Amino acid sequence: MSLFVMTAILLIGAGTLSRRSVQASNEGNTGKILSVAATSFAPFQDPGQPVVGPGVPQVGSNGARSGLSSSKAGSVLFFSKYTSDLSRPGTTNTVISITNTNPRDSVTVELFFVSNCTVESIIYNFAANQTRTFLASVESPNKTGYMMATAINSQGLPQQFNWLIGNASITDNNGFDGSYNAISVSKRTGGPVSTGDGASIAEMKFNDTDYDRLPQQIAVDSIGSSSSSNTDLTVYSPISDLSGGAQTIKFTAIAYSQSGRPYPQIIEKSCGNLIGDVDQIWTSPSIDTFITPGTKGWGTFAASSSNNPVPVLGLSSVQGGSYLYHSERPMHVLSRLESFTMKVPVTAPLSPAPDAVTQALPAATGGSLGAGEMKQGSILIYPRYNTFGISGAEANKSVINITNTHPTQKARVRVFFTGVTDSPVMTDAIVSIFPNQNVTLLPNDYVPNQKGWVLAMAIDDRGQPANFNFLIGSCYQATSFGLGGGGYNAISIAKNSPGSVIRNSDIQTADLIFNDTEYDRLPSTQAVSGLWSQSDNTTTIGYARPPLNILDPPNTRGSVQITAYDDLLNQASALIGPTEAKIGTLRPTALLPPITSTLLSGRRGWFKLSPGSPIFGWTSNLPTGNLFVSGTSWSGGINGGVSPQFLTTTDSFTIRIASTNPNNGAPTALFDPIDVYIEARSNLGTIVRLDGRASTDPDSNDVLTYKWYDNDVLISTSPVSDYRLSIGSHVLQLVVTDKSGINSEPAQTWVEVRDTTPPVMSGVPSNITKSTSSTVGASINFQLPVAWDMVDGSVRVTSSKLPGSVFPVGTTVVKFSASDAAGNETQSSINVTISIGGNFPVNGGTPRNKVPYMGNLNDQYVIVGKTRVFELTAADPDGDPTTFTLVNGPAFARIEEIDPVARKAKLKITAQASDRVVSGNVRVVVSDNKGGSWSTLPFRIIISDVENDETGSGIGPGGGGGGGGGGGGGGGGGGGTNNAPVARAAALPATVQATTKQGAIVQLDGSQSNDPDNDPLSYVWRDGAVVIAEGAIVNAALGVGLHSITLTVSDGKGGSSTTEPQSVQVTPRPLSVISSSPALIKQFNFTTITITGTGFNEGTKVRIDCTSFCSAGSQTTVTINSIEEDTIVITVKTTQTSPFGNRDLVVTNPNGEVVRRVRAHYVS
């Protein structure tokens, strides 16, 4: 064993820290290879970042801010489980590898092994492109726990170096074995964490400002019955102080049955680790009672300490019985903790790597958190399935799992299976997944005798890709055909824009744009840490290449460059063919050795894939010899593979996808008959009813949309509406469209709105006689009649002889005529008789009564039981009072509230179910007190489910659009009586103290609610009238103040119930001051100071006092600029005579709380 330098600080006992700094070489097989000599390095000043491969960088300071993930590189790595047993190191052990993917810069990394609240640490240097491998039996023998690795600078402070990836391969005595990627956390700010000079403790803040936030709730996406598979779960909360110390953690574990029903379990652990088989976690009731053989469920975990939420991470280990499913998978992240602070001991390494210059990370485009295998998404990518050459029961060797994590919404998912073997093929299927439900798909049912990849995409009812970032998934792949068995999480891709993807002009397709604005970008350059030696392992590497159009024949052409690195920094590159290859057979050229030839037994390296376009990579490992460990030496390997981690992404990539429902039949447009000839009711024309609800679709669940056209102009998108047609000819068309965008043939009719009703003339004078002595005749005056037209209103009356004309002796017939714009004419006449005799006055010529008039009524559509009121208003040229009469009206229609003087009344229609549906030829007659009357055009009173729209806008109920297909719907069938569910909410504390600026996080538990019919339930929590959460067991943020919490559960069949309100008082956080900066206050100046802490409010006062006695006082004036619960900004004014020296910051609340921060500032 070669010389190595070790410095140790060892404290024995619970909560101790054992620190070792390894800086020189160790030639044993644990991979402790000298990365940098104990030489002095000048600090590296180049701010530029090296190029790691083609694509948009996701590493270093150039990678955009993203969520923690096992699919990226970071500055902090979490290895969720390691174990070792020196009595059987070959069957219970963990092989851990960490890789520095930076091709130029070295880094120093500190490893923290945490087991039973005891922390041991080691410091190593990593050269560029170097992998180091560690045996748990050497580094932390006879222990089980988790390991955290963080990049540190030359002073021992955690620093930004977002280039680290990791891999762990684990085997234990219970038969579990497999590999998993470390969970990477990026440091978002440049350089090291901030701390005081010479500080022995540094604080790492996981708050999306300094480091990525840590999970608050995680999920295991698939749990089978214990009789069909063994599932061990490792769940832990990273300790908040790595200098050691116990912490009691309360885990809330919720398992969901296949129906989506929750089964919660509360478990307390003194050291924050929950490890065990699922039937040891869910015991009351036993998990075997609700996840039975042949069914699947899933589960979630959250953690708290002293009723405050704390981060939680986890690993799922599966051993799949006779099919040899071996899987080690990180749990999915459902939500992230707002902030978490971890204290880390600071010890400067002996010979550190040079400090690299780093910068703050840029913001992510579109708010993307980055594609990865630990998040929720709207698209799931499964890079590998295998049904090739498999038959019978063995066909179940590939299993696809999809879980809908939404508590109330059903998911509709279109799954595309692409096969790339021999005769490439693509087939698809649509599955519906209820809230909180998991489904399992067998690729052999869709693409037998194939190998390939799967894309699962959330769609809406129309078949269009939709925003539904609640899908998680995984795949189990059994051992077969020289491939190691394993399981992996699907790559989740979020839709970052709202709504559904708009269809292309062909209606049949839509474009998925992966650019971080629409969907997360797709991976390009990828890497895998922990490449086994191929002398005693067979590692297969493969990839799927997404097509430009998923409807085109699958793409099986092309190649990808792979570069393998051994642990001694040797590297070689080769090309992988179209789909997959055994990495130990790849050569740079036919005459050169394989690219892994320098990677010796008992060592691990890494490899990198550098494609020119996006790919979805996968690996599988099958050891030719079991893991053998002797002291620090080892050989062999462990079964299983991992998914590559993403170093770069493709800037933008588009996949054209089917966007209609498959096997879809075209709808048929039908509408209720409309008369060909319709009489105009006013100068605006007439209103007709457009009712297309008789349209049908052969697909019974399709929903139709409607487009009505008048002479090719779109006039309505409602299934039923009322529309005003102008006078003239109209070609009306209806086109209905189903959810898939398929249009019907247009239904068409011709309509002519015409005016055939002549004006009504009245006020015709009486016959006139006059005696005159003149033989020429006499001049006669008279009033012309008046005429009113239903369309044109008042029309001119012409006379064959004008008033004032000289009428000859004898009888003259005076003809009166009134014509409307349509040419309809009304005539009348009087006789004017002139006789010879004495000169006597005119006799006659008195105007007769001028009749009243009013507007026409449209057809009246009325709803049963609802009174429809129509205002009637008349006019009378003589100013006479009027009355109104309903002619041919049904018994349920009547005219009331008649006001003769105002010439107004109300037509009230109240139909009952037993009344006649259609009453035709109904008129309103208005009469004056002189016997004159006027009648409207006839109209109909029709009982309907949609009232008529007197404006004729074409906007139907609800604003138009949409409607039912399948023949227009109809009544429901019979069935049993639905029983309402029973809402039960766990008791809430009467008082809770706020833990954050926003208030307190309170767990709401409605899991004891039940339904007599065993219907799936939805859960809605309200604070007063405001919805604050949905789900059976959820965490809700409550602000400071009094809250009234209720739970409403619904069974989806109209049944629901609500709990009595529970009162919760959230009290403010206690007054505290964490920091105030800057410390320097200049004399005779203005200084702006930011104070951070808790418990501030609008009444908070701040002053600056002398730390020691000042004879003339502090001589500072404080002005408060702004106050938030955790931040106060003040301006301090000093004078020329303000004394120099230290100052205390004093903060006082109205309730008497006072906090003094001694020597917080000084005047200079």
Question: What pLDDT does residue 325 have?
Answer: 62
pLDDT value at residue 480: 53
Instruction: Give the closest residue to 543 by CA, choosing from 643, 423, 446.
Output: 643
Instruction: Reply yes or no on whether the pLDDT at 38 is more than 50.
Output: no
Looking at residue 18, what is its pLDDT?
Answer: 42
Weakest-pLDDT range from 36-40, 344-348, 1115-1119: 36-40
Q: How many Å apart are CA 237 and CA 309, to the nearest integer?
A: 10
Q: What is the pLDDT of residues 789-840, one digit of tens each?
A: 999 988 999 999 998 899 999 999 999 999 999 999 999 999 999 999 888 8
Three-state DSSP at 384 gives strand
Residue 1 reports pLDDT greater than 80: no
Phi, psi (degrees; rounded to nearest 5) at 624:
-85, -15
Name the band, by pLDDT with cuts 50, 70 and 90, for residue 352: very high
What is the per-residue pLDDT for 322? 46
How many residues make up the chain in this entry?
1164
pLDDT of residue 754 exceeding 60, the answer is: yes
Give the percent of the chain with pLDDT over 70: 92
- The order of strands in the sheet holding 645-646 is 571-576, 560-565, 604-610, 526-532, 645-646
Range with the poorest average pLDDT among 143-152, 330-339, 447-456: 447-456
Burial of 423 (0-12, 13-18, 19+ CB in 10 A): exposed
pLDDT at position 23, please? Answer: 37
506 by Cβ neighbours in 10 Å (0-12 / 13-18 / 19+) ranks as exposed
Task: Return the pLDDT at 668.
Answer: 95
Confidence of residue 975 (pLDDT cuts 50, 70, 90): very low
* pLDDT beyond 70 at 960: no
- Give the residue with greater pLDDT, 1033 vs 888: 888
pLDDT of amino acid 732: 97
Residue-averaged pLDDT of the chain: 88
Which pLDDT score is estimated for 830? 96
Helix (H) or strand (E) holding 404: strand 398-404
Residue 591: what pLDDT?
94
Residue with more model confidence, 711 or 391: 711
Higher pLDDT, 995 or 968: 995
Structural contact between residues 109 and 166, judged by C-beta atoms closer than 8 angstroms = no
Question: For position 951, what pLDDT does the model report?
Answer: 85
Query: What pLDDT is stored for residue 961 in this prediction?
Result: 37
Q: Percentage of residues in the chain with pLDDT exceeding 90?
A: 68
Residues 6+ apart with CB under 8 A from 732: 674, 690, 708, 709, 710, 748, 749, 750, 751
Cβ partners under 8 Å of residue 119, min gap 6: 15, 16, 17, 18, 112, 113, 239, 242, 243, 244
Ranked by mean pLDDT, which of 395-404, 593-602, 949-958, 1011-1020 comes out on top? Answer: 593-602
Per-residue pLDDT averaged across 260-275, rounded?
A: 88
| Domains of the chain in sequence order | 677-756 (2.60.40.10), 764-844 (2.60.40), 853-936 (2.60.40), 991-1067 (2.60.40), 1072-1163 (2.60.40.10)
Q: For position 45, what pLDDT does the model report?
A: 32
- Kindly tell me if the per-residue pLDDT of 403 is higher than 90: yes
Residue 577: predicted pLDDT: 86
Q: What is the pLDDT of residues 175-224, one digit of tens each?
A: 788 999 999 999 999 999 998 888 899 999 999 999 999 999 999 999 98
Which pLDDT score is estimated for 11?
27
Q: What is the mean pLDDT of residues 102-120?
A: 95
Look at residue 394 in the predicted model and tell me its pLDDT.
Answer: 53
Using the 8-state DSSP alphabet, how is residue 959 labeled?
Answer: G
Mean pLDDT across 40-52: 57
pLDDT over 50 at 348, yes or no: yes
Instruction: Calculate mean pLDDT across residues 486-490.
Output: 88
Tell me: the pLDDT tens digits for 866-923?
999 999 999 999 999 999 999 999 999 999 999 999 999 999 999 999 999 999 999 9
* Average pLDDT, integer, range 19-37: 35
Structure-block tokens of residue 995: 């833990």
Does residue 752 carry a pLDDT above 80?
Answer: yes
Say what the pTM is: 0.70
CA dihedral angle for residue 500, residue 505, residue 508, residue 514, rounded to 10 degrees: -50
Neighbouring-strand partners of residue 904: 873, 899
Tell me the pLDDT tens digit for each residue of 239-253: 999 987 778 899 999
Q: Match 């008649």 to its residue by tokens.
A: 898
| pLDDT for 604 beyond 50 | yes
